[in-house]
Amino acid sequence: MRALQELKNSEVVPIVYKMLKNRKHTMTVVNSVTSFMTRPSHILTWSRFSVQVVMVVLVLLFGAIPLLAMRPVVYTPRLLPLQAAPVEDHVKQHTAMSVARLERLKANRQLQLEQNRIPPDIEQFVPEAYQGQIVRSLPLAPGDRAIALTFDDGPSPYTVQILDILQRYDILATFFVLGQVISSYPEILQRIVAEGHLLGNHTWSHPYIVNSEAEADREIERTAEVIYDYTRVRTQLFRPPGGYLNNALTPYSARQNHAITMWSVDSSDYFLTQSEILDQVLAEMHPGAIVLLHDGGGPRHHTVAALPQLIETLQQQGYEFLTVTELMKRSQAAIAQSPDSEEF
């Protein structure tokens, strides 16, 4: 009996066995035998058979019979840590920046200022008719099949791959960037501008609900400031996170004469596979469309993989790729020629 009691308490060396789907569990001798004596049908379960038999034999060798009077040990499975590849769960993982690197960037910018190598301000203004307006798609002249690709939540390492693809096909796009990510990837932001793409403001921290004007000011103006600091770009494009309009961000942005840029084609690339992204976009595509894609905020390898085929298919269908502001200008010209057309 004493030996059995010692065995009962010896949880430090549990018996480990594998059940179906290779999931590891642990079971003590007493738990196993108690389970067997109270529910004998468990012995018929093939995945437990060999373990149950061994444990029963061990207990019988110790001469222990009155097991039911003993309290079974509570068994709690321990989950083993997954050895998965690192995933960019959200943009907050990319905001850390070492003090040393920040100081180097500041020193480099000061040197550029002293040597007059800072480029002049780049004014990415939108046509006046769209300032303070909510824009989802843009009407075009009959036969015009222009569209705008837009990417949210960057910059990130995926942005580099997307820029390479856009460069290969010689097309331009619009990137709605997050302020808190920029300091981690300033060179990528600068490359976006250098290659002729447009920047848009996507807030500092991607909040879905902003209740106060003060918070809206911080989210939008901090992002505008860091965009300007690294690129000299002043943008009038703004996209609210998640497309949520019923909060303080929208009226604040409208008062700044931003074009509140939504979308009419949602790729849903944040959860679809490569082929599903392609099918989704092609099914919803139309002239004057603003297409929502993502280059940050999570793993975007499906977006990167789908993009070349998406571009080639749309080109075969006669679509032309413009930035959002160029699409606005094209639309404005079409409206001017046909005053009865719907504006926005």
Closest by Cα among 318, 320, 332, 1 to 141: 332
Closest by Cα among 267, 272, 268 to 310: 267
CB atoms within 10 A of CB 332: 18
Query: Rounded to the nearest 5°, which phi and psi values hold at 117?
Result: -105, 5
Q: Which amino acid is at 244?
A: Y
Give the C-alpha separation, 207 to 90, whole Å.
12
Q: Is 294 a catalytic residue?
A: yes
Q: Is 54 exposed, middle or buried (0-12, 13-18, 19+ CB in 10 A)?
A: middle
Q: Of 152, 153, 269, 295, which residue is the catalytic one?
A: 152
Closest by Cα among 333, 304, 330 to 319: 330
Q: Which amino acid is at 187?
A: E
Q: Is 295 a catalytic residue?
A: no
Q: Of 94, 197, 294, 302, which residue is the catalytic one?
A: 294
Q: Catalytic residue positions?
A: 152, 294
